Amino acid sequence: MRNREQAAKRARELVGQMTLEEKASQLKYDAPAIPRLGVPAYNWWNEALHGVARGGVATVFPQAIGTAASFDTELAERIGKAIGVEGRAKYNAAREENDRDIYKGLTFWSPNINIFRDPRWGRGHETYGEDPYLTGEMGKAFVNGLQGDGEFLLGAACAKHLAAHSGPEALRHEFNAQVSQKDLRETYLPAFEKLVKEAEVEAVMGAYNRVNGEPCCGSKTLMEDILRKEWGFQGHYVSDCWAIADFHTHHMVTDTAEESAALALKAGCDLNCGVTYLYMLKAYEQGLVTEEEITRAAERVFTARFLLGMFDETEYDKIGYEKIECQEHLALADRAAAESVVLLKNDGILPLDRSRLKTVGVIGPNANNRTALIGNYHGTSSRYITVLEGIQDCLGDQVRVYYSEGCHPFKDRLENLGLPGDRISEAVAVAKHSDVVILCLGLDETLEGEAGDAGNSYASGDKMDLLLPESQRKLLEAVTETGRPVILVNMTGSAMDLSYAQEHCNAVLQAWYPGARGGRVVADILMGEISPSGKLPVTFYYDVKELPDFENYSMKGRTYRYFTGRALYPFGYGLTYGSAELAEVKVNGQAVVRSGEIRLAGDDGLTMEALVANTGSRDLREVVQVYIKADSPDAVPNGKLCGFAGVTVKAGESRTVTVKLDRDALTVVNEAGEKVSGGARFTVSAGFGQPDERTRELTGKEAFTFRLER
């Protein structure tokens, strides 16, 4: 029942039969049954960030930041669809057993489309990176897949967390993000607007923090003025968990739970993840809310349940348990992992020639670490394949694989009775006995993640700096000092200072958190079975000293659009094993030459056609990226990503790829937060990365740049 009007009509009829108490009871995430009306209990809380999470076995895809590195919207949509199908299969099985517990429903609180504005933020790996356009496109595709295109919603997606929410985790319950209108409209809101207007996302979740003084789950500005009136949002709004209690316990904008419940409800928060809406009837008795306001919220949440077909027979009722972690979805997870890995450095050592290998050393705390495969908000896999296991399986008995954990992920020793650095000598011995070393370092969800979920409680999931833990830095130095060839596989969900590795390692791979069986894919990339094609969705800086204070929400000096320094690895950067060139570029059918000019006729949209020539000896996948900078004082200093498309090209062949440019490509946002024309002249660049000096230095390639007039 994708017909919202019909679903809303049925919701009004059902809610109209409820008492005030029954209506209020349905506004909690753990809504009780109403037997007399045939309404079963329903728990709204389910997670699906990169696979159905926290509810048992499911396909565990690469963490969201890894999917973002693919720059592949078709892939994101297929992942969303697979998650929706597995979610339905699990829902059908649980319902058959009358199990209506948490993490068993069809309302998935994903995707996280906050902007990863600062690499210290622990939850950044849940996002699609630092760019509003990339985030919006990947998020829209994920929602389209998860919600499906059937008569009913396959699952209900939720865009979170509105708005300006990206750390610090330790302060999130009391923090006030002070944001200019330009930054709000240019950076923090566009992805939400896209998911509302273009993907018709069913739910939006509010953030814990305040924005310019208003708590996000009680903000008239965000929830009523922008979300519903300006963007026309028709779905339901849910609070982050226990965020409404923060109103009176941390933000101090109200004095009581009743006042907090009333503030949230009046602003348009329909569903409470938490317990504050238990005070809704008291708020009513005190005259703080009306029955009409309670009714409105109840109608919205029941509209969602009707859209999901919870009171009907649907085309999804026969999705069987065999769809969970099926071969089709596991193959899709492998593809996602393959497209996510970013090759940051390669002096020619990769891919490895296994015919010349006799011994391989696999070293490091993440080499055999299952936790480093999965990120956070994950399901349970029936099998895990670490990088060590992937290499062992790939090489078989033909090559001797030595292994040393080398160090603890962050402690100074692995054995309590040992001395500091107790496994360094073993790691050095392994390195000295190996033809090549695969060094697996990085973090996992215990070192970067959400407050309350993460192990580094001193920062509530955030990083203090961009350095690897000291134990790992010492291991890195000891292994590279052996003089053996070293390939670093960095498994983190965020940008790190890899400057030492860039200088001392022969190759560097950014593998993110590649999914439950991602170690096999990493091994295939190392051995040349797959050419890496990922591009960085975030900037890798040298040091946090180059960045503004973490608490400062101004975009000045942040992300590739505003950063004025020299990046270690720029946004959009990533190498392959082959070599490709842009041989020809057309805009709206007009051929363009490098450093030339083109005049745009009319106000039609922009479409670019690029002929990608594979000039190497290996098949490869490349990502054409288009950046535009307006001749306007309101333009972002370094230009902005406005279009991208991946293309697979066989060795020696050429293929034309079409890039549909963002409808807002020729607009800018002024200081008042207004989207206006960018003027008459623009600089347009197309290539396999940004048109910046550092990308040229790392790739040896010049972007295809020209001027556009209208």
Which residues pair with residue 205 across a beta bridge?
Answer: 160, 238
Nearest to 496 by CA among 129, 166, 120, 63: 120
Q: What is the pLDDT of residues 169-184, one digit of tens each?
A: 999 999 999 999 999 9
Q: What is the pLDDT of residues 497-526, one digit of tens each?
A: 999 999 999 999 999 999 999 999 999 999
Residue 210 has pLDDT above 60, yes or no: yes
Give pLDDT, residue 461.
87
Q: DSSP readout, 579-602? A: -EEEEEEEETTEEE-TT-EEE--T
Lowest mean pLDDT of 333-342, 445-454, 629-638, name the range: 445-454
Q: What is the pLDDT of residues 616-628, one digit of tens each?
A: 999 999 999 999 9
- Is 596 exposed, middle or buried (CB count within 10 Å of its CB: 0-12, 13-18, 19+)? exposed
**Starting at the edge strand that comes first in sequence, how are the strands of the sheet with 400-404 ordered?**
342-346, 507-510, 486-491, 436-442, 359-363, 400-404
161 upstream amide cis, omega within 30 of 0 = yes
User: Which pLDDT band holds residue 1 (cuts at 50, 70, 90)?
Assistant: very low
Residues constituting the chain: 710
Q: DSSP readout, 483-523? A: -S-EEEEEE-SS----HHHHHH-SEEEE--S--TTHHHHHH
What single-letter DSSP state applies at residue 28?
Answer: B
Residue 556 identity: K
Mean pLDDT of the chain: 96
Give helix then strand counts, H and E, for the chain.
20, 25
d(CA 150, CA 35) in angstroms, rounded, equals: 29
d(CA 269, CA 244) in angstroms, rounded, equals: 10
The CB density around residue 137, as the number of other CB atoms within 10 Å, is 24
Residue linked to tokens 């100074």: 412
Residue 507 identity: A
Q: What is the pLDDT of residues 247-265, one digit of tens each?
A: 999 999 999 999 999 999 9
Would you state the structure tokens that stand for residue 7, as one six-digit string?
Answer: 């679903």
Give pLDDT, residue 662.
85
d(CA 589, CA 710) in angstroms, rounded, equals: 15
Helix (H, G, I), strand (E, B) or coil at 402: strand
**Contact status, residue 126 vs residue 85, Cβ threshold 8 Å:** no
Helix (H, G, I), strand (E, B) or coil at 657: strand
CA dihedral sign of residues 543, 546, 548, 554: negative
Give pLDDT, residue 510.
98
Would you state the structure tokens that stand for residue 595, as one six-digit string?
Answer: 């450093």
User: Which pLDDT band holds residue 100 (cuts at 50, 70, 90)?
Assistant: very high
- Is 130 exposed, middle or buried (CB count within 10 Å of its CB: 0-12, 13-18, 19+)? buried
Angle at 136 between CA 619 and CA 677, to 5 degrees: 110
Residue 638 identity: N
d(CA 87, CA 100) in angstroms, rounded, equals: 14
Cα 442 → chain centroid = 18
| From 131, 183, 240, 462, the catalytic residue | 240
Full-model pTM: 0.97
Residues contacting 353, CB < 8 A, separation 6+: 528
Q: Is 240 a catalytic residue?
A: yes
Residue 3 identity: N
Q: What is the pLDDT of residues 532-559, one digit of tens each?
A: 999 999 999 999 999 999 999 999 999 9
